[in-house]
Structures are given as structure tokens and as C-alpha cells.
Structure 1
């Protein structure tokens, strides 16, 4: 403040949040000549994806996976003892990756001359936000357009004592300073399953408490079953159809009381059951923008809120809650701001990447969805144990599964489970994005793949499925 007045600045657009959604929008607007500013509540850019979500968990998983590969490779059994890594040690590597990502993303804003203001933004009216920064500094920003990309945080229900050191959520777990002997993970969604893999890979005894009857019900059933089997093979104890009644922390342990009468006594509880959108205390309700009970903002197909000039993207709008999707949503929202339209086709068939051990990636329809819609289909499998590249890499667990129409041969779904699944799926994604005859099984049948490669799984799966047509 100067002389009691709040300094006011004018921009074409204000982007609130510097995660993938905010970054995608800000860069697109800047490159189109718009005067744009980014407001970020955290001390560094990158959002939850960089600091607490995608980047740290995947960095943790990568090093745990490498250790497991070493320990299970028969080549090293006679020359060295099994390796063991602690949770704090793999966290240090994750911190280095986070720092590199922050520097990279900060460079994007700097090179494109996009100012980044650090502080919390709150709408004063439909065209003005007030930013409260460090040391009591206050700025007012007026703009013709706004984009809310504030992300999400772990859901914290009443009755769970998150202030106790033995009770963590997926943010707090990144501050854990030791490797526990036992851990209970409440919630078997993507985050819960990924952390179950990570901690079990570190040798921790894991109880995975699932509130549903099967893991990741949005997946193709065969893939979900494979994940359950291999998590159990790793030693994860999965408890389905459970609900907590009470969490009782003690000095040396924590007890999770379940509705079924079970009491799970562990060193650490990781609560991984849902997330809430970061939309509170933003003055949205006064503008007619009403977040739901989980803090998520409703938008239309153009990512517009109840106020047409205020857009929202990323985790704060809910599904699909993927960093990759958020970046595209930000770009498309920016496109709509600029010219009143966006490219609908690019946001269809978003791949799902789940970094369990082994990892999972899916695209398109599942068997159960096609069955429910009464769409005829056939299945082609390629099992990794039969691929030369997988045998060389000692990565025989997994498969590629193609779903296709038996008459047109159109590719309807791609489901991959195993090493490099999230990379392998993109070959199929490119084919599914084509139209007409280009999106058929024939591409995989008539294309020469390098040998030996994991990509060869497409040819094997295509032949397997085509031979079923008889």
C-alpha cells in the first residue's frame, strides 16, 4: 500500500495457479500477444503437480523400481548382496528433480515475460482480484478474463487426527524422516495403489484398505485383476469393502478401527481417500460460482464457469485430474478466450497413466463399457513374457490388450499393464486419433516394428486378435 491506497494493475488476463493448467493457459495467451499475469500462492512455481503430486511420487517410484530390478536380476545374485534404500534417501532424489522442474518452469515465465506474483488471490468483483502477498503487501488486478487453476489438496475428513506425526496424507508423507516398518494406506485409488507399491518395494509391510469391492474400478476388469494379483504377489495385503470408524494414534503406533470390527495397528497411517479442490476463500460464491462439497468448480465444455469470462481447469474442476489433461485444458481455455472456440478433438481419449509397480496405462473403452453399450468387439493379447525385449530386460510381467471391432477392425480400446506401459500406450494413441481405415488393426498387422522392442507387442496383439476372427 502507498498512502493508504491499494496499488491496481490492469491485464488482459489473470491466471490463478502455476501448475500445468495455469502454465498452459499463460503461455498460450502470452504467445498470442496478450498481457497476462500469474498469481501463485506457493513460494515457487509448478503447483501441486511439481511439489507434492506427480513429480515426487513418480521420482520415488522410479528409484524403488530400479532397486527392485537389481535385487530380482539373477545376474547379480552371486556377486552382491541385495540393496536396500531408505524412504528419506529416495526422497532426496525426488527433491533434486523437483528443484530442476521448478527452475525449468520459472524459466518459461521469464522468457515469455509473464510476471508471477506470489500470494493468495480473492475476487472483489467479477473483474477484480486482490492478491495478498508476503509482508502484508496487497495488489489489485483488473482483467477482462480470468482462469482458475488452483489445483487440489488431499481430502481431510473430520475425526482423522492429521496433526499427529503418525497420521499422514499424500502431502505430509513427503516429510517423513524415516522408513516405517508397517504402514496402512486408507484409500485404494491411484495415489493409494502407487504408494502401496513404493512402500512395499522398500520392504515395508503394507495394508491397503479399499472402500470398494475391487481396485480402480474405472480400469478394464482384466487390468484391475492383474494389478490386484501382482500387488498381493509383492506382499501387499489388500482389504476390500472396508470403512474406517476411528483412528487412534499413540506415541509408538496408530490403530485404524474399521466398520467390520478389524483393528489395524501400524507405525504410520497414510490417508489417500480423495482430494478437495482449492477453491475456498476466493470470493467465488458472491459471483454465482458455487463449488461443490469437494471444492470442485463446475464448468461447461469450454471450461467457462457461471461467469463466462472466468474459466477453470485442472484438478479444481475434478475429472480426469491428470497433469497432462490440465495442461491441454489450460491451452484450450486460452484458445476460447482468444477466439471464442477450441479444438474439441484434441481432448478426446486422454490416456491414463498409473505408476504402480508394474505400471498401467489405458486409452479408450474397456470391455465392460463395450458390453454395456452392446458394441461388438474382439480381443487381442500380447503377453510380455513372450516378447524378446521383455525377456532380455527381465520384465516378463504384463501384457498389452487391444479391443477392436470384429467387422471394421477399428481400435476401440488399448490397455497395458507392465514395464513402460505409460510409454507403450502412445503408439496406439496415435493410431486411435486417425480416422477411417487408418484407425484399424491393419496398421499393426502391416507395420514393421524394430526387433526386439516392447513396441512389437502391438503386432503380436494384433495377430492374436485377428486370428480369433477365424
Structure 2
């Protein structure tokens, strides 16, 4: 039985969703379309969550602007201008702010059209059926609900020995407020976020030191593509320091000094700490309902995204892997269905595509060569180099390649890996066929299909033919 509270309940709902990022939006929209009375509580003044305001959208908008600048300066059409164009970080932020504004307007309209109540404020549990919401004007509202979805997302991990209050030390949220034009930057953490920002800052002509505590970049990738991004970052002037841990980070008036445990000292105008993320759990008072988070502020859930409290579900970054906006939206929809029907037969697809928006970008889905070799799976590889494609030559975008990994006996597609401009778009063609293996589709699809010419999609036909030509005779 819910504990009695003296606070007056101001509104009651069938479902309350805490957080308006992709996960929360997916859950709220599905529930509203099924005729439920739904409220969404958002701690920030604007809807969209971290994805829209501090993560995916702004960083990808920044990357787009920098990439266009690089293309302009490299284009033979504009070489006659001689002097390369330059843009400051502050200047390219304008484009991301425009995109964010459009996204907020769009996402806000979804809630209006679907009659979802939007409450701006910080939510905390009183018991499993009551939430207290502290609004921005200081007022407090108590709302009642039958069920609740926690979709509060994550934030950059901040170790206690790093002074993030210093004006030259940033994380991946606060870097979006950078006002000065740095000549050099140290990036601590060479995961997806660290590598993306290394590309962005180097594209602006900033000297970059990328400190990686592992032995290679993005070690979850197929090693060929991990090597490719390492080569291109280094080729563009990024200094990559593998196997290094920071010992101290000292902020000064004119810059930052980082000392590694191996004794190295690095100096730069500013530092970006991008080493991990933590779930936004502290303000929720989950102890009041008997929930406990792990050391990263994440909650454990069952296959239907239910926590160990029967009417409380959790989706998105707050539950950890895969921590992708695309997957989070699906998780929200799956959880909503499970709450209404007791369970949901639909699950996240097993092979979730990865998009890494470095310059050039990387995308992959399925198995790597290393995984298949370790599992003793007989496979073959087909490759297409972008420099051989007419469309890439026309666009002067010839850096990159597509790799298809397929079973040498069944010809089933086992993995697809792409490096180069528009890789995250190109990957979906192969992903669609890969998911149709039970329908009989295999690598022959790409050989027997007529592609538009010239297109980047033609890389699939080239790679498929290349791979089939590699097959050795069976006897």
C-alpha cells in the first residue's frame, strides 16, 4: 500500500515519465496514443533532454559545420582564393543553436498534439505512487500516478580530483559554453565522445592531445577501422597518447597542465574531460521506493524494462548499455507496451548499428573479424574503396571504404563496417539485408540488385563482387 502523504495531490495520471529525451519521448508517445493519461516531467526549461541540448544534436551539428569548412578549404573550386577560411568554436556554435531550437519546437509539438501534460521541474519520489516536483519558481507540486518511467539519462562522469569549476576545464556538456578560441586542447578520454571532439577541434586548426587509457582507439570496432580512424586523426595532426592515465590536472590562469602517471607533462589552453558517463539518479530519491543504483548511477531492469518495483520502469542511458539515442527511443516504446500488456514480444534488435561522427565518420553493425576468428566461424571479406566509386570522385570524398563480412558457406552477411563520409547512412542498406537472413537474403542480393549510378550505395555491389571473387574452391 502506498504511504500516506499530507501533501495535497494536484493532479493524477495513469503514467508519469521522468525525462523528455528519446527514451522518455518514446514511452510517452506510445502511452498517449494508446489512450492513457500521461504527464512528462522535465528538469530543464526546454524539452528534448541531454540528447537535444548537450549531446547528440549539438555535437553532430558542430561536426557538420567543421566538415563543411574542411571541404571548402580542400575544394579545388575555391583554391584560387588562396587564403583558407577559418571559423572559431563560438562561430560554429551558432549553427548548433539553430538546430536545437528547431528540435525543441518540433518535440514540443508532439506533446501538444498527443495531449501529454508537460511539467517542468525536478522530480523526486515520495513513494511509488507519488512524485514531488520542485518547479523553477520554487513552488512544489505533488502528483499521483499508477505507473512511472524513469528516463533521466546521463551526464559526463566527473572525478572528484578534477576542478570542473575552473574556467579552462570542461566536460562534454560545458564545452558547449566555451567562449574563447583555444589554440590547443587536451582531451582526456578517447572513446566515442573524445574522438568526435578531437576531430571537431582539429578541423578548426586547434592543436589536440588525445589521452587514451587503452592501447588502441575505439577497441570495440573491427581493428581495421580502429586503425583507420587512428591513422586519419594522426595524419591530420592529432597527437594520440595510448595507455596513459592522468595523475593530476592543474588549471592555471592561462591554461591547463596535465601530468600522466608515466611522468609526462602536457600543456594546453584548455582541457576537455570525456571519460565516461554517470546516470542522473541523485535527485530522484529512489531510496523512498526501495531502488538502488550501481556505482555509475544506473538501474537494473528485466527484459521488459521493469525495475524491482512493480510499477516503476527505466529506459535509456539510466540503465546503461547500449546508451544510444536510437535504441533509447525503441526502449521507451517497448516499455510502454509492456506496461499496458504485461509483456512486450518486440525486443531491441540484436545487431544495433553504431554511428561514430568523427571526421571521417564510422559506422558498423554485426560481428568484427576478431570476434568471428575467435569463434571459429568460416568467413570471407569483401571490400570497396570509396576512391574507386564515381559518386565519391564527383563529391571529392574519396577517403573511406566499405567492408562486408560473410559466411563462406551460407553467404549470410555477418558484419558490415564502413568508414568515410555518410558512413552512418550507408550502413543501413546492408543492415536491412542482414536482418532478412531468415527470408533468404545474403550477399548475392547486392550482386543481383541494380543500384542507381553514380551512388555511394554502389559500394555494396563492388564489395560483394570483391568478396565472392575471394572464395576459394570447396574441393
TM above 0.5, yes or no, is yes
| Equivalent residue, structure 1, for 2:446 | 444
Q: CA deviation at 1:137?
A: 1.7
Shift of 1:81: 2.5
Q: For residue 17 of structure 1, what is the aligned residue in structure 2?
A: 19
Q: How does 1:353-372 map to 2 (within 5 A)?
A: 353-372=355-374
- 2: CA distance between counterparts of 1:293 and 1:393? 47
Q: How far apart are the structure 1 equivalents of 2:439 and 2:42?
A: 46
CA apart distance, 1:179 = 1.7
Counterpart for residue 330 of structure 1: 332
Q: Give the Å deviation of 1:281.
A: 2.8
| Distance in 1 separating the partners of 2:11 and 2:439 | 54
Gaps of 5+ in 2: 1-5
Tell me by how many angstroms 1:288 deviates. 2.7
Q: Which runs of 5+ in 1 are unaligned?
A: none
Q: How many residues align?
A: 467
Partner of 2:459: 457
Question: Which position in structure 1 is the counterpart of 2:270?
Answer: 268
Give TM-score scaled by structure 2 length.
0.96
Give runs of aligned pairs for residues 67-466 of structure 1, distance below 5 A: 67-436=69-438, 438-466=440-468
8 Å Cα contact 1:6-1:138 kept in structure 2: no
Q: Deviations over 1:47-84 (max 9, x none)?
A: 00000000000000001000101111123212453111
Structure 1 residue runs of 4 or more that deviate by more than 4 Å after TM superposition: none
CA contact (8 A) 1:16 1:147 kept: yes
Equivalent-residue separation in structure 2 for 1:287 and 1:390 (angstroms): 56
Separation of aligned partners in 2, 1:364 and 1:344: 19
Distance in 1 between the 2:422 and 2:323 partners? 21
1:287 CA displacement:
2.4
What is the CA-CA distance between 1:376 and the residue it aligns to? 1.6
Alpha-carbon distance between aligned partners in 2 of 1:115 and 1:281, rounded to the nearest angstrom? 21
Q: Structure 2 CA distance, aligned partners of 1:149 and 1:346?
A: 17
Cα displacement (A) at 1:139 = 1.7
Tell me if 1:6 matches 2:19.
no
Distance 2:302 2:371 in 1: 24
Alpha-carbon deviation of 1:343?
3.7
Distance 1:422 1:153 in 2: 24
Cα offset for 1:437?
5.0
Equivalent residue for 2:3?
none
The 1-side partners of 2:131 and 2:471 are apart by 61
| In 2: Cα distance, 1:367 partner to 1:298 partner | 31
Q: CA RMSD in A?
A: 1.2
2:286–2:292 Cα contact (<8 Å) kept: yes
* Corresponding residue SS for 1:305: coil
CA drift at 1:136: 2.5
SS of the equivalent of 1:74 reads coil
- Asked whether the equivalents of residues 54 and 173 of structure 2 are also in contact (C-alpha less than 8 Å), the reply is yes
State whether residues 7 and 142 of structure 2, in contact with CA within 8 Å, keep that contact through their aligned partners in structure 1: no
CA contact (8 A) 2:153 2:316 kept: yes
